[in-house]
Amino acid sequence: MRVIIGINKLLFRLIIGVRGLLRIPKPKLQSLFIRANNRLVSRYRIKVSTEELLLLLPHCLQYKDCQQKISDDLDLCEGCGRCDICQLAQIRKKYQIPAFVVDGGQLALAVANRGNYRAIVAVACEEELEKGIIESALPVLGIINCRPEGPCRNTKVEAGLVERAINHFLEGNQSLKKSVEVTSMPRSNNYRLTLPKE
């Protein structure tokens, strides 16, 4: 894990340098960094128990007018279906993993640091994922959310991607053929998770 974290920090410094030299849009470079991180993490055999895997979700996934306070307990979701929290709560319950809805990167790091976690699956925008991956002492698979109404408002994520990222850590890599990448598709603003071909 220390190797992963060290390489990520090196990648970050390189990306910052390229950003200044080539004037590449910040979100595009952040997306490339997250993709590179996910590729690197997926190449390592990292198998953890359900108690050691943390699922972090942004508050903007919750329907903006919802009255339920689900920050510390996704099971409080009433399942109305107006946002993706409903499906994510079902996934959390299925795998019995710790999950939190947080208001930004600093709170996410605080949550990660207060438990005995060994890996993280995180959903957020490019900005928050980049910061979290760099500052976290744990391996992270990051999934960029979709923002049809703009930033921080009724964002979305494909629940299937989150579940497959969870399975990656719970099952562990047996070989490169089974390694996982969580990658973004910036042009269409949709996201996918790919497996290398057999």
pLDDT (tens digit per residue) in 31-61 = 888 888 888 888 888 899 999 999 999 999 9
Residue given tokens 């508050």 in the structure block: 59
Domain boundaries, position 114: 2-194
CB–CB of 99/57 below 8 Å?
yes
Amino acid code (one letter) for 114: R
Residue 194 has pLDDT above 80, yes or no: no
For residue 77, give both structure tokens.
């979701």
Whether the model clears a pTM of 0.85, i.e. scores above it, the answer is no
Q: End-to-end CA distance of the chain, in Å?
A: 26
Two structure tokens written together for 55: 């699922």
pLDDT at 111: 93
Burial class (CB in 10 A: 0-12, 13-18, 19+), 47: middle
In terms of Cβ atoms closer than 10 Å to its own Cβ (0-12, 13-18, 19+), residue 49 is exposed
User: What pLDDT is recorded for position 83?
Assistant: 96
User: What are the tens digits of pLDDT across the range 66-103?
Assistant: 999 898 789 899 999 999 999 999 999 999 999 999 98
Into how many domains does the chain fold? 1
How much is the pLDDT for 174?
Answer: 43
